[in-house]
Amino acid sequence: MPQHFDAVVIGTGQGGSPLAVRLGKSGRKTAVIERGAFGGTCVNVGCTPTKSYVASARAAHVARHAGEYGVHVAGPVTVDLAQVKARKDRIIGESRNGVEKWLRGAENVTVFNGHARFTGPHSLSISGSDGQIVDELQADEIFINTGTRAVVPPLDGIDRIRYYTNSTLLELTELPEHLVIVGGSYIALEFAQVFRRFGSRVTVLVRGERVLAREDADLANNVQKVLAREGIEFRFGGEPQRVEPLAGDGVRVVLEGSGAAVEASHLLFATGRRPNTDDLGLATAGLETDRHGMIPVDGELRTKVPGVWAIGDVNGRGAFTHTSYDDYQIVAANLFDGGSRTADTRIMTYAVFVDPPLARVGLSETEVRASGRDALIATMPMTRVGRARERGETDGFMKVLVDAQTKQIIGAAILGIEGDEALHTFIDIMTAGAPYPTLQYAMHIHPTISELVPTLLDGLKPLKPVK
């Protein structure tokens, strides 16, 4: 007979794990199902490992430029990728083991290892690695938190070459001689800078005419300029048509149109991610996905099937660790605290963790112009920021957009040193719904990056049409 639970959480990512613990604390008999490593994408192949690599890459970059600060490093700076990986693995292991220990020790929580599939709206089977069903569960409440995986384009010859995704590239112990990256967005650029700073030659193949196609052109072009200065090569408008093997596991990428080719020792695909929803038996539960494989939800993250929620990357409401955690907070507030929170009013924010980072919240300048609203804008180069000059890192600029009628900040971006931290001054004011003078007249600590935010707001001017 199937075991009955009050609640089941499928997946132990940034939303699923704390939700399972909170469900148990509420008195619900809770099951949590994990088919792989505990902690989800962020802990195992996303934020945690990649940011540890970003840290190692920055250490190498700073060491190479130490002479500019009067600090002399004897001999050339080299990177031991095996040691970088070992450090990353230690950090991952601590986080992964911590999540598993937390869940297994949580009150009213039972952990199951295996792959979950719906057998009805409120029933699930759990299969082992051999595909055999090992458990069957029933639950009044089910929360889907199964995350995403890397997309590999179905190119001609793909089955004849060795290639990498963001997950498998992290397993290398020797530096690529020449890394070619297909893609021009966040993951592609972060890996490009990391491996260039490690010492690899790096070429980025971008389908369009510029990197970061979703960002304002001024921000994207500045990011590209910084990366190109570090020696990263860019090829634009060249969609890969086919791939061919070379001796020694190398690869040739042939581009559409011109037929030009790029040869590399290693090939990374950073061409997007696909939700893990295609093997959940969703149709059996009466659930459907959109054309991207996402599970549609309302503002409270409920699916169309009563008693079933979808949280995290699978619901199309934001594919970031912080949006996944906020999904948990929305569900928890509404289920346990009598709240009425909704993702419909959430202000989107994120960062691209190149160095310097690009952080953004709310609407872009492009989006504000498209809306036709009456707006104000201000920009400021990082060369005006004392902290940036003192650190010798003045790349980038700040930008803010304000609704001229309500005086509320509707968008902001910082490309620059510590911009990912400084942006929170905007995030908090926007979340509070306070007018921009609240921030403009705040006294900030000197010398910091954030102290120039009020000065930035002093320079607000009407957003004029582009000529």
Q: Is 295 annotated as a binding residue?
A: no
Which residues are part of the catalytic machinery?
446
Last residue of a domain, which of 326, 345, 364?
345
Domain check: are 63 and 82 in the same one? yes
pLDDT at 467 over 80: no
Give how many domains the chain has, as a whole number: 3
88 labelled binding-site residue: no
- Over residues 249-260, mean pLDDT: 90
Model confidence at 259, pLDDT cuts 50, 70, 90, reads: confident
CA–CA separation, 55 vs 290, rounded Å? 37
Distance CA 396, CA 415 (A): 5
User: Considering the domain boundaries, does residue 215 fall inside one?
Assistant: yes
Domain end position, chosen among 345, 373, 394: 345
Output the pLDDT for position 1: 86
Task: State the DSSP H helix or E strand holding residue 306, giving kind and residue range, or none if neither.
Answer: none
Task: Check whether 69 is labelled as a binding-site residue.
Answer: no
CA distances from 356 to 58, 289, 388, 453 (A): 10, 37, 11, 17
Structure tokens at 440: 């403009």
Does the pLDDT at position 254 exceed 80?
yes
- Partners of residue 423 on adjacent β-strands: none
Is 62 part of a structural domain of the chain?
A: yes
What confidence score (pLDDT) does residue 238 get? 81
Residue 299 vs residues 3, 304, 340, 427: alpha-carbon distances, Å: 31, 12, 10, 20
Q: Do residues 227 and 103 share a domain?
A: no
> Is 52 known to sit in a ligand binding site?
no
184 and 202 in contact (C-beta within 8 Å)? no
Q: Is the pLDDT of residue 54 over 90?
A: yes
Confidence of residue 179 (pLDDT cuts 50, 70, 90): very high
Is 187 annotated as contributing to ligand binding?
A: yes
Q: Is residue 467 part of a domain?
A: no
Q: State mean pLDDT over 275-286.
A: 97
Q: Which of 210, 238, 271 is the last residue of a domain?
A: 271
Tell me the average pLDDT across 301-312.
Answer: 98
Condensed to tens digits (0 to 9), the pLDDT of residues 345-393 reads 999 999 999 999 999 999 999 999 999 999 999 999 999 999 999 999 9
Q: For residue 189, say whether it is annotated as part of any ligand binding site.
A: yes
Token code pair at residue 252: 């040739």
Answer yes or no: do 261 and 328 share one domain.
no
Evaluate if residue 466 carries a pLDDT over 90: no
- 8 and 120 co-located in one domain: yes
Tell whether 68 and 165 lie within a shared domain.
no
CB-CB contact of 221 with 184 (8 Å): no
Is 426 part of any domain?
Answer: yes
What number of other Cβ atoms are within 10 A of residue 418's Cβ? 19
**Average pLDDT of 191-216?**
97
> pLDDT tens digits for 107-120?
999 999 999 999 99
CATH number at residue 202: 3.50.50.60
- 185 labelled ligand-binding: yes
Compute the mean pLDDT over every residue in the chain, rounded to the nearest whole number.
97
pLDDT of residue 248: 87
pLDDT of residue 258: 76
Angstrom distance (rounded) from CA 60 to CA 55: 9
Range of the domain at 240: 158-271
Distance between CA atoms of residues 183 and 190, nearest Å: 11
Whole-number pLDDT of residue 66: 97
pLDDT at 235: 95
Q: Is the model's pLDDT at 297 over the cut of 90?
A: yes
How much is the pLDDT for 90? 98
129 among annotated binding-site residues: no
**What confidence score (pLDDT) does residue 241 get?**
94
Q: According to the model, what pLDDT value does residue 284 have?
A: 98
